[in-house]
Chains A and B, each alone.
Chain A
Amino acid sequence: MVSYTYSDAVRRVAGVISVISAPVHLLASSPVVIYRWLDGSFESTATLERDLVELNQRHLVLQTRLHRFKALEAENQRLRKLLGAVSDVSHHIQLAELVEVDLDPYSNTILINRGTADGVTSGLPVIDEGGVVGQVTRPGLFHSAVTLVTDPGQGVPVQAVRSNLRTITFGAGRDGQMRVFYVDRNADIQIGDLLVTSGLGGTYPAGYPVANVSQIQRNVNEPFMTVWAIPAAHLDKGTKVMLIFTDHPSAERNPGSGSGSAGDSERD
């Protein structure tokens, strides 16, 4: 294997030059944008009203649950303090939209409409409402490329919720599936187990869903099992994703960056 690195200057220049690709991406994504717009404008009032009622109900339910989680989080912090453990770092979230273009047939990447101008940096975790999507690998000035968790080069340190088993997932490179590596022959893992980020490695914060175990194959003469998983994120359907910025309690965060679009950034 060969490793490579760009100098800081090249990275910055490449990020700025990536702006010239914006018109091409705009043209390429226009068929999908126009189709969505037409689709939306022909929707009947009845459908919209039904959707609105449904969303309001869901919002209410989620809000109620959120109150409970807030109380639990506060209690958790208090107990951690009593134990003298390191308190959890806080995160804040920024919404981003997918740009409907194909970046490169030889890689598993998507394009989002946030860049270094919005405080995006390389290695920033990206999630959607289902779970972890991937991480920012090539930030441009206004757009960034995100490598999906289904890329064979992307490893995510995970933990099974049911059994606390810690392991690593990699993309399988086909059919949008993932492989779970280094699972001992007699480890406690079952089909349907939810794998969440373990927080090890430092890229992904702990506790976000990554994948569901879909297939387990025990090999008698090998030390590890072959385990397949299906990503929890809606990698092929979603149009909106969220960027997770970590606010380190010790490190001072630049107030100017990350809150470029004040409307859609919120704290949790």
Chain B
Amino acid sequence: MISFGTQRRLWVLPATFVVAFVMFALPVGEEWKSYMPAWVTLVLIYWCLATPEKITLGTGWLIGLGLDILAFGLLGRYALTKTLITYLTRRVALRVRVYPVWQQSVFVLMLLALESVILVAIGYLIEGNIQGLAQWRALAIGAALWPFIFWFLRHCRRWSRLP
């Protein structure tokens, strides 16, 4: 039983996602747009690795749908990629979480690239043209930022006393 003083701060987990959503919508201008990493995906990967039992496929799907609504885009586009990322990360979570952080970065890079490829492919199917190839920079930056995000979110998790 949880005693006083060790009560879990359950709001921290959703709060990190809200921050990621805000970062996603942050106006950075046309020339910096392609440098912005996929914050929501990075946060999602962290929580899938740290607490695979908390983030179910449904959670991933809901987060993706929220992102679709936030982006005023085609409904279900991000929902699909986020569900897929949740599935893949949960699948290998117990193995990947014991890797050194730089190896996790490689894993994160692969996931980010997969998401990007799917998004570009959907764009091609719908619009008939390829857009967003400039986003490859964001993939590299996302993977490079992973150690910091990992460190920051681990502090958040410990502070919130989640397992």
Contact = CB atoms under 8 A, between A and B. Distances in A.
A265 interface: no
B119 interface: yes
Interface in A1-17: 1-4, 6, 10, 14, 17
B128 A102 contact: no
Interface residues of B, number: 34
Contact of A1 (B27, B125, B135): B125
B21 interface: yes
Given A1-B128, A105-B34, A153-B129, A24 B72 contact: no
Contacts of B73: 103-104, 106-107, 109, 138
A18 interface: yes
B27 A100 contact: yes
Interface stretch (A27-35, A67-75, A243-251): A27-35
B132 interface: yes
A264 B36 CA distance: 36
- Highest count of chain B CB atoms <10 Å: which of A25, A106, A144, A173: A106
Contact of B25 (A28, A109, A152, A153): A28
B153 interface: no
Given A24-B70, A111-B72, A153-B127, A106 B132 contact: yes
A18 B68 CA distance: 9
Contacts of A101: 25-27
B74 A4 contact: yes
Contact of B132 (A14, A105, A153, A236): A105
Contacts of A109: 72-73
Give the bracket for the number of chain A residues in contact with chain B: 35 or more
A145 interface: yes
Interface in B108-163: 119-120, 123, 125-129, 131-132, 135, 138
A24 B25 contact: yes
A206 B102 CA distance: 58
Interface of A: 1-4, 6, 10, 14, 17-18, 20-21, 24-25, 27-29, 31-32, 100-109, 111, 138, 140, 143-145, 152-153, 173, 176, 236
Given A105-B34, A153-B129, A176-B30, 19 more contacts: A1-B125, A2-B126, A4-B126, A10-B75, A14-B75, A18-B72, A28-B23, A28-B24, A31-B26, A101-B25, A102-B26, A104-B73, A105-B132, A105-B135, A105-B138, A106-B119, A106-B131, A106-B132, A107-B73
